[in-house]
Amino acid sequence: MELTLITLYNKLGDTAATRVLSGRYKTPSVYQTNWYELNSNIRLKAIVTVHGDLDDLDSFDSARVKGRKFRIVSKTSKTFGRVELGLAV
């Protein structure tokens, strides 16, 4: 788990809207990756935890972390003010 900058943007809608956040980047466990791939047929590549409101981040569908582009496949709010994003290629 490491602290990094995450750029959130929207590929499909308003392409001018971007947001840069700092958050924790971690690679998912083998169990999480296999479970997600079996149930949704999408390969989970990273889990990013950022501070913010789920309603504010709901309009974004893509993320750029460490120069790599990802799709946001899941958004969950564990506690108030902390959002966990599941990223896939």
Mean per-residue pLDDT, 23-41: 89
Longest dimension (CA), the chain: 37
Question: Any residues with CB less than 8 A from the CB of 79 and at least 6 apart, and which?
Answer: none
Per 3-state DSSP, the chain is made up of helix, strand and coil in percentages (nearest 5) of: 15, 55, 30
Q: How confident is the model at residue 1 (pLDDT cuts 50, 70, 90)?
A: confident
SS3 (DSSP) at 64: strand
Tally the domains of the chain: 1
pLDDT greater than 80 at residue 16? no
Cross-strand pairs, 2: 25
SS3 (DSSP) at 46: strand
Q: What is the extent of the structural domain holding 45? A: 2-88
DSSP-derived pairing of the beta strands 82-88 and 44-51: antiparallel
Mean pLDDT for the chain?
A: 88
pLDDT greater than 90 at residue 24? yes
Task: Report the pLDDT value the prediction gives residue 25, as an integer from 0 to 100.
Answer: 92
Q: How confident is the model at residue 69 (pLDDT cuts 50, 70, 90)?
A: very high
pTM of the predicted protein model: 0.84
